[in-house]
Structure 1
C-alpha cells in the first residue's frame, strides 16, 4: 500500500513538473508572455490546471491546482480563471489528455478578426479537419466561453477564441503542445499569405486524402517537422 502511494505521488510530481516545463517552453517559443495562457492535464478522476496569475518563470510544480469535474478545488492554490474550458473539454473528450491555451501573436491576431482558417495548407490536418474554427467573443473565464470552445472543437484538435487566443488539445501534454506550435505556425503562414492576396484553397477531397494519410503517422502528424 505504501509503495502504491509512493508511485502515485511520484507520477503526480512528474506530471506537475512536466506542466511547469511546458509553460516555460510556451514562453520561450513566443506563444505566451508573462502570465498569459494556461495548461490543463487529466489525472485519473481529476485534473491539474496551472494557477491564476503566475508568470511561467515563477511557476513551480507544487503550484499546479488539482480540481474535480464538479469544479471543486482539491488542493491548495487558485486555479486559472479558464479552468471551466479545461474541465469541460476533458470531460467531453475522453481521448484528450491535455489542453493548452495560448495568446500566441498570429493566432490571436486572426482571432481578433474572428476569422476561420480555411484549407490553405495541407498541415491544417494537424488540427483534425479542413478548417480551424473561431468562436464568437465571450468574456474570459465564463461558461459561455467554454461552451463556445466545445462547439468549435467538435472533431478538431484546435480552435481560435474570438478576440482572445487559441486552444489546442492532445492525447497528452506533448501532443497538445505540438498542436499549439503547429497551429501558430499555420496562423503566421495564413497571415502572410493574406498580405499578398487570397490563398488558393485545397479541395475537400484533397484535405480528406491528407487526413487519411495522417492517420498512419500517429504523433508524427503533430511534430514540428511535417511529414
Structure 2
C-alpha cells in the first residue's frame, strides 16, 4: 500500500524519535529522507526530534534545481547524499543516516564489515563497505557514499557514521538496526581472536533464501 504524503511525513518524524531508543543514534546527529513522488522529503537541520512535527519536514524536487527546497525549516546539512542516493537509486525509497556506536567505531578505524554473519547478505553482497572520508555536507562526501553503496543497501562512512537504504522507510530502519547489531558482534569477535568468515557460497545461499524471507519485497 502506497502511503500518502502526510503519512510519510508522520513516519519520518516517528522514525527519528525511535532512532535514539533503538540505539542507532545520539542526539540529533541522524537524518532521514523518503521519496514521495517526484520529490524528496527530508528531516530539517538541527531540530530536536521531540520537537519535530510533520509540517517541519523539508521537501526537495527531484527534477528541479539542485539544492532547491521548500518548507518552514532548512533541510538537513546532509541533504546532498540523501538527494543524490534517491536520484541514483530508483530501486530504493528511503535513506537513514545515523551515528550508532559500533558502526561508528568501525568507521573511525576505517574497517568494512566482512562476512562475519549470514545476515550480511541482507545488505546485498559479501561485505558492508566503508567509504572514504570527506567533510560532512559536502559534494565529495556524497560521491564517496554513492561509490560505497554500489550494489549495496548499506555502508559505513569513514570517521562519521553509517547509511542504510530501504525499499520503504520500515526496511531502511530495519537495516539500520541490523547493521548496528552486526557491527557490535564483529567488534566483540575481534576481542576473542577474530571472526571466522563465511564463504561466498555461504553468503550467496543466504541471499537466495532471503528472496523467500520478505527482505526483497517492496510492499
Category of TM-score, reference length = shorter chain? over 0.9
Instruction: State the Cα RMSD in Å.
Output: 1.4
The one of 179, 185, 198 equivalent to 1:183 is 179
Aligned equivalent of 1:3: none
The one of 12, 15, 18 equivalent to 1:22 is 15
| CA displacement, residues 130-183 of structure 1 (integer Å, 9 cap, x when unaligned) | 100001111000110101000100111100000000000000100100000000
Structure ranking higher in helix proportion? 1
Mapped to 2, the partners of 1:65 and 1:211 lie a distance apart of: 36
Mapped to 2, the partners of 1:200 and 1:63 lie a distance apart of: 46
What is the total number of aligned residue pairs between the two structures?
A: 212
Report if aligned partners of 1:27, 1:56 keep a CA contact under 8 Å in 2. no
CA apart distance, 1:74 = 2.8
2:28 is aligned with 1:35: yes
2:130 is aligned with 1:134: yes
2:5 is aligned with 1:12: yes
The one of 55, 67, 73 equivalent to 2:48 is 55
CA apart distance, 1:217 = 1.4
| SS of equivalent to 2:96 | strand
| SS of equivalent to 1:218 | coil
Aligned equivalent of 1:123: 119
Report if aligned partners of 1:24, 1:57 keep a CA contact under 8 Å in 2. yes
Structure 2: gaps of 5 or more residues: none
| SS of equivalent to 1:95 | coil
Structure 1: gaps of 5 or more residues: 1-9, 222-227
Q: Which runs of 4+ in 1 moved over 6 A?
A: none
| SS of equivalent to 1:101 | strand
